Structure 1
Amino acid sequence: MARILLVDDEKMARTLYGDYLRGAGHEVTAVTSIAEVKEELARHPYDTVVTDLILASGDGMEVLRHTKQHHPGIEVVVITGLDKVDPAVRAIKSGAAEYLVKPVAPEVLQHAIHRALATRELLQENAALRRYVSLLETGQRISTTLDRERLADTASAAFQGMGSASAVVLFERDATGCSRLLSAPGLSSEGREAPHLAFLAPRLGVSREAQVLEGVPGPWPRALVVPAVDGEDLLGHTVLLYPDSPPEGITEATGFLARCLALALRNMGRIAEVEDLAYLDDLTHLFNTRYLHMVLDREVKGAQQTHGFFSLLFLDLDYFKTINDTHGHLVGSQLLVEMAQLLRGCVRDDDVAARYGGDEYVVLLRNTDAAGALKVAERIRRTVESHRFLAREGYSLALSTCIGVACFPEHARDKATLLDLADRAMYRGKKGTRNVVYLAARDLEATPSTRHSQPTGSEAGLSAAASPR
């Protein structure tokens, strides 16, 4: 059964056609003017409009044009007493599903309505298919994106478009189950939208089902929270913000996109685990020299482009070979691990601490000039000097370190020279009093080539090899 709007200014025609259609099981509303047509179409949903071509207050072409422009999902059947080709051609070109010439037999009208409804259903199926194809392609783009920044941009745009949201906020869950911001395009963590973020994060919960949050502070008081689930694991949330209630019919699309987001987050996590294996020192779990050289290349390039600056600290433990000789290499390896932990506590999260080999460490201090680097180096030196290593194991070993400091671009404008100057500054301390910090200078003595010949990585960790210092 279809809901049909019948338009004709002749009472006899309205009665006749109305009876035809009602007898066939359709629900029919009859009107006489174009104004009534517009009012009815705006007020109620219809499947088909049946209109006479000639009306007292206008013509059926206006009914056809208005319906197709403002209600494109409704099919229009045109009936006329004019047995001419031109009006029929104009009606069909304007989007009419059928063009019937009076007198119209009941079975002809019924057949025309069936064809119009079949056409409408086919068009709706095609539109739905296009939406599903678009949704599938969007989901594939999200699930195959392995770059975090690109993923945030792609997923945010997709959710905002598919969910007709005013704004979108993406959260990911870390290994401890805490939610952290992945992306919030258009929202500022310091501006007027900041209350959104403070309100949302603790309310995401662990539910695997979509939920609506009310009372969100700011211009969008309602939020649809869609969990990003892969298998049994909750990997994040998508929050779609609205000024009113979320639109109906978006649950399926947003749920599918959220599953694609979860898959992308899962894949990025796996890649991060592999990268950790490639870039972390086996013994200390600091970064290794492979990662240090990669990040130094990136830092030098960025500083050259932005006229920025950074510093390097080159550390070497004093008399470490004595520890190995006295207590054995296993104790030496344990001490190197504790030294790495000590070093992490002396620098910022944004800085890069790496094991360079044996008992040598290098720290990259981002956005830090010579004065700042000297302060950090002195803090590290004092911390090592006052610390008692392996105290819980019963050794309580005292140790000191020499630290060389070199800064970009003050001392060098390329990676190799910067590392060499930091190493030379450190070596100056080794030849002197030890337990000291030195700033790089061009006239410093070059370090012996044998100093960096010891193995690195797990091999160095096991042997804790180092020359007498």
Structure 2
Amino acid sequence: MNKKILLIDDSRTQLQSLKMTFVKAGYEVITASDGLEGIEMVNRCMPDLIISDIVMPNINGYHLCRLIKNDKNTKHIPVILLTILSNKIDRFWGIKAGADKYINKDISADDLIKEVNEILKDVTPTRYPSNRNTINNITFDEDIYKLKINEILDQALISSTIMNEFRHLSEYFQDDNALVKEIFELLNSILEFDFGGIFFNSTDGKEPKILNFHQNNCKVHDNIFIPVMEDFFQKLFPEENDYYFNYKISGVITDYNKEILSYDEFQSAFVIPIISGKSILGGICLYSKERNNYSELKTFNIILDELKLLMRLRWLYSETKLLTIIDPLTSLYNRRYFNEIIHREYMRSQRTQSNFSVAIIDIDNFKKVNDTYGHQIGDIVLIEISKTILGMLRTTDFAFRYGGEEIVVILTDSSVDGAIYPLERIRKRISEKVYEGNNGENFSATVSIGVASTDQGVMGPEDLVNYADTALYRAKSLGKNQVKIFDPKIDKKI
């Protein structure tokens, strides 16, 4: 069976010339003298390829292409726009209309055949549609197709407007509260929902994962937030520690037209991870008391695509932010970030009635290492010790470069007694590492560690640091290479 080509052109001369060319090349050819007749022939004959002029009365080639590509029954058919129009903008509109090829009419017959052969090389010839009898009874009315074209163009306008609105949101990256507010205001203007949440992931794995809730003209009962949050993060991070999971409610609800007392009241519940490659950029969840199938909306995929782009940009922004809190030599967090985290952890411990510990780790005789082997070897020692510490801490713990050779560790959910064992393991592992000096001589490095915890009656983050530093001083004065806990009976006398 020969492959069928539909030729559409309002010029009889051009139509006959093209028909002879393709018949000679072994193709079955059907013709149409304008866009409306072309649409009729597409539906009646199901060609394997459509070659259409652009400049035609009533329904032009761009509109024809859009109609074909927006119909699920014909969108698979390749379309070549063959035209005398040569401006870049004409080619742009042709491709945007869905054309597979945009070819100038001054192309030679041989080159045109080559282009067509290339497009059709993997196409199996189509048979006449099974619903041919039904199609034969359809009247192909010009006004109906003009209406369809307007609907397609309206949809394209809606799509471009949504895209533009989302792309303006990048200006809010520095203020998550404002970003969440703007996103939900935009979503509320497009989708029907009562309650939703959005989460932006960060390149910093230790950043708390916060689901930002939005109540859309309704009051959601407090007992709903935690189950929704747990379900959301379980779907995005099934194997991750829930230590980092939390939620935040955006805005204060003072005026609402409905109240939701139970999770069971939701008839629609959507949790959608936003993923790029292997990275989870974030996610969104939408809940409604009415049944809503968002996936059936033409605009929903556009919204998801724009959210993905927005979250990708937010992810890149978090990468840039991460560079400002990381020590470039050791890859530990820097001192500026330590000040932020210790205050955050202290407030969390007060709120949850839990404990955490702070340890200050100092490399023994580090000046001697630099003086004997040089600063390059000293940097290697500092880097290797930092790697050892990072490799032995839990994912919920933090390590910071505090000073030249001082490293501070925050051990979350850990009393002073619970901190001793991991710190002793770290100290021992560090002392076992052998380094090669620039003179061929091998040497080892040791550390002294002072530790204090919130269960020792501290009054604030500053006390923790001071107590740990005092315990470190005692470890140094007693011979180094040891861990000492702050002891108020001893250390306050030093």
- TM norm structure 1: 0.49
Highest Rg: 1 or 2?
Answer: 1
**What TM-score, normalized by structure 2, do the two folds share?**
0.47
